[in-house]
């Protein structure tokens, strides 16, 4: 089987990429989706707050997803559901499996949009037992929102990721008692809005620089021991407190799901855990693009859609014009920046290039500085925080002659 | 005179707002811009939130939300009403599931398309 | 009345049952937990030891050698993955003599192929070996096997041949009856058999006491482990040991039969049965493992766990008729190398019992069980044939380990049937991958509900009161 464009994943990234590619003239598009309905993780994100940037209104996850599903349907884009991609090669061969069998598609271009997974509690090496009642926040979300079941009644949450915060409110509204949220770092990794509306509204305490040091309970969770940690994240003896609970949720980070990518031998960035891409979101394998949470973890779906449209449009261009002559220059993360995306920029590009980045720590009155192109450019930001992705836009004139760029963030001098 | 402090969520700056309530209008300080002032006033006089939840469908849960913000102090009593709802026909996003759910004119509406199954 | 009741469905009990079914005997296995392999057989190193370690002339040495010899054929029959990956015992500067002594003991025990390798050859065999390792004892007959996979398969094969399994049967008393014994369970159930075999692991002292036999004491030693993701699969090829000490074989580092890397165990004396892991345990594992290999990818840890190993005050296996009580046979105190020895222990115990009862051979015994992970070993063409007949084999439920709905359904309809989330996990690997069941757990939960007609609050993680949903339905 041959297809022009195969998109792996029918979540927000895959759908937006498909629509963008279609609008650039690609007609032979196949979106491969492992679940029985498109929409990805948004299906279970029934809370609101989606679309504020893109649609200037606050939507729920299913509402946001539906906009894209409707657009895809309007264009009659084929979405193959209940189909799992088992293999990908750097030659753009996509092997799929579903209830009709296993088959391989030779694509002319591929867009990776597989999303991410939650970091599991197993990776944390928490002492104690391993009874029933330990859930990643997303798994609990699925039980509550899609299954209509409450995992437990007394809950402690480890990690202040957004899904954990959202679940604190959701389970509280459904009658559970959320005792606290523990965050090992000195700052929350979730959006400020979520701290205010999911914790503060319900009087749920957020313990910064605290972690769970022990899980208790034989068959079902019976309690946890929480302790303060020092600046090296080591528990401080004598600060232990016991919380009696029947459930622990873990919201300790998201990891791009790149097993297929690794199988294809496409290089990944150690920091984003996604591919290294250029401004087109093209990976180091020609004709294979990536977007959304499989590329780097986003905090707002609005940016996922935007990124997917870049990838979808670029894939269309590639399909019509072949690989463009590019002069790729590296973009580096400088002081106080944990990563910049894209990692490479086409200096020959005639269009402005948007750089997305995350900072390593919270800074108020910050200055974003870009060096390496035509002089030094600076942007002022009221405040930056690791939980909130930032971006700046560079005009072509700035990078045309550059050999490499570096983005750093500094505290503004008074 | 009562004094309350909280972080503004209107923009990333995150101003620490302080509101003093006494006679007359509440006095807001710590805000950088007028949006902060408006947010703080609303938060102390009558904070409002959109409520999202699910209701029972035939074989699945159906996401719902209040069409607009409702009084925060009504969240739990509205949840009680939401729990009692059972939908059995197909619904489109925005269809009213339960009219005037908060007693102040706000409808509970479907937040996803539902095929009735 | 059964001919034989085996108490305990760990790897030893499972092999006893299987071997007993090679004779013309009615067999029942009584297990206190809700699934097989619930104790030490579930959480151990999964090593098929070469046999150089046990004291010459001990039962451990005898059964280890015999079990190692049998393992290949047993695993082929039972469809369990077994690799003779070979083991290496590392020695640093000044430890040459100890290594030599171990070599000599191995020769004495009858281990074949043993030799001492120098630094250069060692580094070629294991490029990531620790700098301090100067030489090693290489045992090519050492191997790896999935311990719970072996237990499930042996029990399943015994059941396919007619053995009965009673899970949730916690024996609380035993009384003489005409021609044998009646066992009473805490649940009120009873079982009667002419002969009872005590394979109760940590509980074997208590089981002996039910029969008025107090000839041995059982102690418990906890061993903690860290399991690394399959992406680290190429990091180590052989099973890497330090020189053994009085406390045992110490922390080892090994590939597992399923392609992960396993590091551990610690050794902690226990007053009672406790499988919790300790923070100090992780530190201990890290410190000791670094003496074996360098740059161990601990950041790829996907889970940690602990197993409790039962040992006897005789410090050797107890494989004998009870002196205190007629009709009771002990297979107790089975510490390391118990997994390796299990096929041989089962064969020996079955032979003793069959002779006592005068039982003949069972001519209909079929030693073969369908391979546990048969589907994933097929080619794409063969898989397509299966999917054409059974479309559920085309539906992936666990994406990390690529486990299909068909495999999960089969795990519930194959002996011994899975009834819990963990039961499905141990049989199919669903939930055992890098996301640790985050994605597939609700799916498996649904499959269990529909297969067994369970309410939402009746599905358990591993039996008992380990309910997954504790807050009810909305």
Tens digit of pLDDT per residue, chain C (474 long)? 999 999 999 999 999 999 999 999 999 999 999 999 999 999 999 999 999 999 999 999 999 999 999 999 999 999 999 999 999 999 999 999 999 999 999 999 999 999 999 999 999 999 999 999 999 999 999 999 999 999 999 999 999 999 999 999 999 999 999 999 999 999 999 999 999 999 999 999 999 999 999 999 999 999 999 999 998 988 999 999 999 887 778 999 999 999 999 999 999 999 889 999 999 999 999 999 999 999 999 999 999 999 999 999 999 999 999 999 999 999 999 999 999 999 999 999 999 999 999 999 999 999 999 998 899 999 999 999 999 999 999 999 999 999 999 999 999 999 999 999 999 999 999 999 889 999 999 999 999 999 999 999 999 999 999 999 999 999
CB A118 within 8 Å of CB A163: yes
- Residue that finishes a domain, picked among C308, C336, C360: C308
| Domain residue limits, chain B | 2-45, 52-110
Which structure tokens are listed for C184? 């009473």
| C75 belongs to a structural domain | no
CB C18 within 8 Å of CB C40: no
Q: Provide, as residue numbers in chain A, all residues whose Cβ is less than 8 Å from the Cβ of C276.
A: 127-129, 214
- pLDDT recorded at residue C249: 81
Residue range C367-400, pLDDT digits in tens? 999 998 899 999 999 999 999 999 999 999 999 9
A308 cis-preceded (ω within 30 degrees of 0): no
CB C243 within 8 Å of CB C229: no
Q: How far is A388 from chain C (nearest CA, A)?
A: 25
> Catalytic positions of C, please?
49
C134 and C226 in a single domain? The answer is yes
- pLDDT recorded at residue A343: 98
Any idea what the CATH number is for the domain that residue C96 is in?
A: 3.30.9.10
Size of interface B-C (CB pairs under 8 A): 4
C394 and C304 in a single domain? The answer is no
Helix (H, G, I), strand (E, B), or coil: what is residue C14? helix
Q: Residue C436 is part of which domain span?
A: 375-458
Helix (H, G, I), strand (E, B), or coil: what is residue B93? coil
Q: Do B14 and A383 touch (CB under 8 A)?
A: yes
| C127 belongs to a structural domain | yes
CB A135 within 8 Å of CB A248: yes
- Of C338, C148, C129, give the one whose Cα is nearest residue C237: C129
**pLDDT band with cut points at 50, 70 and 90 for residue B32:** confident
- Number of compact structural domains in chain C: 2
* CATH 3.50.50.60 residue window(s) in chain A: 1-118+254-324, 120-252
Q: Is A63 on the interface with B (CB under 8 A)?
A: yes
Residue range B37-52, pLDDT digits in tens? 999 998 988 999 999 9
Burial code (b: 16+ CB inside 10 Å, e: under 16) for C212-238 equals ebebbebbbbbbbbbbbbbbbeebbbb
C135 and C228 in a single domain? The answer is yes
CB A121 within 8 Å of CB A129: no
Q: Is A47 on the interface with B (CB under 8 A)?
A: yes
Query: Is 1.10.1740 the CATH classification of the domain at A326-414?
Result: no
Helix (H, G, I), strand (E, B), or coil: what is residue C151? helix
Which structure tokens are listed for C166? 């009673």
Average pLDDT score over residue span B62-91: 96
**pLDDT band with cut points at 50, 70 and 90 for residue B11:** confident
* C-alpha–C-alpha distance, residues C79 and C82, integer Å: 9
- pLDDT recorded at residue B12: 65
Beta bridge partners of B27: B20
CB A314 within 8 Å of CB A306: no
| Cα C152-C155-C156 angle, rounded to 5 deg | 80
- Residue that finishes a domain, picked among C308, C331, C361: C308
- Of C390, C331, C336, C403, give the one whose Cα is nearest residue C17: C331
| C362 belongs to a structural domain | no
The position carrying tokens 């269009």 is: A351
Q: Provide, as residue numbers in chain A, all residues whose Cβ is less than 8 Å from the Cβ of C436.
A: 120-122
Q: DSSP code of C391?
A: G
Can you point out the beta strands (E) in C293-337?
A: 301-312, 318-321, 328-332
| C73 belongs to a structural domain | no
CB A219 within 8 Å of CB A246: no
The position carrying tokens 């074996």 is: C292
Helix (H, G, I), strand (E, B), or coil: what is residue A166? helix
Which structure tokens are listed for C340? 């390796």
C129 and C263 in a single domain? The answer is yes
Residue A308 main-chain phi, psi, to 5 deg: -65, -35
Distances (CA, A) of C147 to A202, B24, C342, C343: 48, 75, 10, 12
A1-118+254-324 maps to which CATH number? 3.50.50.60
C303 and C389 in a single domain? The answer is no
CB C181 within 8 Å of CB C327: yes
Q: DSSP code of A124?
A: G
Chain B stretch 9-68, residues whose beta carbon is closer than 8 A to a beta carbon of chain C: 54, 56, 61
Tens digit of pLDDT per residue, chain A (414 long)? 999 999 999 999 999 999 999 999 999 999 999 999 999 999 999 999 999 889 999 999 999 999 999 999 999 999 999 999 999 999 999 999 999 999 999 999 999 999 999 999 888 989 999 999 999 999 999 999 999 999 999 999 999 999 999 999 999 999 999 999 999 999 888 888 899 999 999 999 999 999 999 999 999 999 999 999 999 999 999 999 999 999 999 999 999 999 999 999 999 999 999 999 999 999 999 999 999 999 999 989 999 999 999 999 999 999 999 878 999 999 999 999 999 999 999 999 999 999 999 999 889 889 999 999 999 999 999 888 888 899 999 999 999 999 999 999 999 875
Which fold is adopted by the domain A120-252?
FAD/NAD(P)-binding domain (3.50.50)
Give the relative orientation of helices C147-160 and C59-78 as an angle to the nearest 10 degrees: 70
Residue range C83-109, pLDDT digits in tens? 999 999 999 999 999 999 999 999 999
* C-alpha–C-alpha distance, residues A285 and A264, integer Å: 9
Q: Is the dihedral of CA A150, A155, A156, A160 positive or negative?
A: positive
- C-beta neighbour count of C70 within 10 angstroms: 19
ipTM of this predicted complex? 0.94
Q: Chain A: residue nearest B72 by CA? A: A201
- Of C201, C240, C193, B51, give the one whose Cα is nearest residue A47: B51
* C-alpha–C-alpha distance, residues A89 and A82, integer Å: 21
- pLDDT recorded at residue A98: 98
Residue B25 main-chain phi, psi, to 5 deg: -70, 150
Number of H helices, E strands in chain B: 2, 9
Q: Is B53 on the interface with A (CB under 8 A)?
A: yes
Size of interface A-C (CB pairs under 8 A): 145
Q: How far is B64 from chain A (nearest CA, A)?
A: 8
CB C424 within 8 Å of CB C383: no
Burial code (b: 16+ CB inside 10 Å, e: under 16) for B85-104 equals bebeeebebeeebbeebbee
- pLDDT recorded at residue A414: 55
CB C33 within 8 Å of CB C463: yes
Residue range C258-277, pLDDT digits in tens? 999 999 999 999 988 999 99
Q: Do B12 and A382 touch (CB under 8 A)?
A: yes
Q: Is C279 on the interface with A (CB under 8 A)?
A: yes
| C389 belongs to a structural domain | yes
Which structure tokens are listed for B63? 């996401």
Q: Chain A: residue nearest C280 by CA? A: A127
* CATH 2.60.40 residue window(s) in chain A: 326-414
- C-beta neighbour count of A316 within 10 angstroms: 22
Q: Chain B: residue nearest C474 by CA? A: B83
């Amino acid at each position: 089987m041959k297809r022009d464009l195969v998109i792996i994943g029918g979540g927000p990234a895959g759908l937006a990429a498909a629509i963008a590619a279609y609008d650039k003239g690609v007609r032979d598009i196949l979106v491969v989706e492992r679940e029985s309905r498109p929409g990805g993780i948004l299906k279970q994100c029934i809370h609101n707050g989606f679309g504020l940037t893109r649609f200037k209104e606050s939507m729920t996850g299913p509402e946001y997803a539906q906009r894209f599903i409707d657009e895809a349907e309007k264009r009659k884009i084929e979405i193959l559901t209940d189909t799992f991609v088992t293999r990908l090669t750097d030659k753009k061969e996509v092997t799929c499996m579903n209830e009709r069998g296993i088959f391989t598609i030779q694509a002319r271009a591929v867009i990776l949009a597989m999303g991410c997974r939650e970091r599991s509690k197993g990776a944390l090496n928490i002492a104690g037992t391993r009874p029933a009642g330990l859930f990643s926040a997303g798994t609990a979300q699925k039980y509550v929102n899609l299954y209509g079941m409450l995992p437990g009644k007394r809950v402690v949450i480890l990690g202040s990721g957004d899904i954990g915060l959202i679940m604190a409110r959701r389970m509280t509204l459904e009658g559970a008692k959320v005792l606290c949220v523990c965050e090992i770092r000195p700052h929350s990794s979730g959006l400020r809005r979520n701290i205010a509306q999911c914790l503060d509204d319900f009087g749920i305490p957020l313990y910064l620089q605290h972690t769970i040091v022990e899980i208790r309970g034989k068959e079902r969770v019976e309690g946890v021991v929480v302790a303060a940690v020092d600046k090296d994240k080591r528990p401080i003896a004598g600060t232990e407190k016991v919380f009696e609970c029947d459930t622990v949720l873990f919201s300790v980070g998201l990891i791009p799901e790149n097993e297929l990518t690794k199988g294809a031998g496409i290089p990944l960035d150690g920091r984003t855990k996604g591919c290294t891409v250029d401004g087109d979101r093209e990976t180091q394998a020609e004709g294979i693009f990536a977007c959304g949470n499989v590329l780097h973890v986003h905090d707002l779906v609005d940016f996922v859609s935007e990124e997917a449209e870049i990838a979808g449009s670029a894939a269309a261009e590639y399909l019509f014009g072949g690989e463009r002559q590019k002069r790729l220059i590296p973009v580096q993360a400088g002081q106080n920046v944990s990563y910049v995306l894209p990692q490479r920029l086409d200096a020959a590009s005639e269009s402005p290039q948007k750089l997305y980045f995350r900072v390593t720590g919270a800074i108020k009155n910050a200055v974003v500085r870009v060096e390496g192109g035509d002089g030094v450019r600076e942007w002022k930001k009221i405040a930056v925080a690791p939980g909130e992705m930032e971006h700046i836009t560079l005009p072509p004139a700035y990078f045309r002659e550059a050999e490499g760029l570096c983005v750093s963030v500094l505290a503004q001098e008074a | 005179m009562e004094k309350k402090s909280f972080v503004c969520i209107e923009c990333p700056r995150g101003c620490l707002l302080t509101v003093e309530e006494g006679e007359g209008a509440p006095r807001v300080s710590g805000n950088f811009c007028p949006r902060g002032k408006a947010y703080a006033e609303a938060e102390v006089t009558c904070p409002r939130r959109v409520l999202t939840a699910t209701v029972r469908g035939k074989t699945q849960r159906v996401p719902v939300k209040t069409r607009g913000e409702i009084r925060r102090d009504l969240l739990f009593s509205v949840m009680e009403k939401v729990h009692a709802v059972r939908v059995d026909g197909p619904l489109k996003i925005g269809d009213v599931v339960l009219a005037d759910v908060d007693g102040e004119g706000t409808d509970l509406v479907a937040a996803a398309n539902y095929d009735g199954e | 009345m059964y001919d034989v009741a085996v108490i305990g469905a760990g790897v030893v009990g499972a092999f006893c049952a299987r071997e007993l079914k090679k004779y013309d005997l009615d067999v029942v296995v009584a297990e206190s937990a809700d699934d097989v392999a619930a104790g030490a057989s579930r959480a151990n190193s999964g090593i098929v030891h070469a046999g150089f370690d046990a004291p010459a002339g001990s039962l451990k040495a005898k059964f280890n050698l015999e079990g190692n010899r049998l393992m290949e054929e047993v695993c082929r029959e039972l469809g369990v993955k077994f690799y003779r990956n070979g083991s290496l015992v590392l020695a640093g500067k000044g430890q040459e003599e100890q290594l030599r002594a171990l070599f000599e003991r191995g020769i004495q025990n009858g281990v074949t192929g043993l030799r001492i390798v120098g630094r250069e050859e060692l580094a070629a065999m294991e490029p990531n070996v620790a700098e301090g390792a100067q030489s090693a004892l290489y045992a090519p007959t050492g191997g790896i096997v999935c311990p719970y996979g072996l237990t499930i398969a042996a029990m399943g094969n015994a059941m396919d041949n007619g053995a009965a399994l009673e899970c949730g049967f916690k024996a609380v008393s035993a009384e003489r009856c005409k021609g044998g014994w009646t066992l009473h369970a805490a649940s009120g159930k009873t079982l009667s058999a002419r002969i009872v075999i005590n394979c109760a692991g940590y509980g074997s002292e208590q089981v002996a006491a039910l029969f008025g036999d107090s000839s041995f004491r059982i102690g418990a030693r906890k061993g903690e482990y860290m399991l690394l993701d399959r992406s680290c699969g190429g990091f180590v090829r052989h099973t890497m040991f330090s020189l053994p000490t009085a406390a045992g074989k110490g922390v080892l580092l090994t590939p597992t039969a399923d392609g992960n890397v396993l590091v551990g165990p610690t050794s902690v004396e226990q007053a009672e049965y406790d499988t919790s892991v300790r923070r100090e345990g992780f530190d201990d594992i890290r410190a000791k493992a670094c003496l074996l290999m360098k740059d161990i990818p601990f950041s790829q840890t996907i889970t940690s766990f602990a197993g409790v190993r039962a040992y006897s005050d005789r410090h050797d296996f107890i494989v004998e008729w009870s002196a205190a009580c007629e009709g009771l046979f002990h297979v107790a105190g089975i510490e390391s190398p118990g997994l390796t020895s299990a096929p041989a222990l089962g064969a020996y115990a079955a032979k003793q019992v069959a002779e006592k009862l005068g039982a003949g051979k069972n001519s209909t015994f079929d030693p073969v069980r369908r391979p546990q992970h048969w589907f994933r070993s097929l080619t794409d063409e063969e898989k397509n044939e299966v999917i054409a007949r059974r479309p559920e084999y085309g539906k992936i439920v666990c994406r990390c380990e690529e486990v299909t709905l068909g495999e999960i359904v089969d795990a519930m309809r194959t002996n011994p049937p899975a009834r819990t989330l963990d039961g499905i996990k141990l049989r199919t690997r669903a939930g055992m991958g890098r996301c640790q069941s985050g994605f597939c757990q609700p799916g498996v939960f649904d499959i269990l509900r529909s297969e067994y007609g369970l309410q939402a609050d009746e599905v358990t993680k591993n039996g008992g009161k380990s309910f997954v949903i504790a807050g009810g339905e909305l």
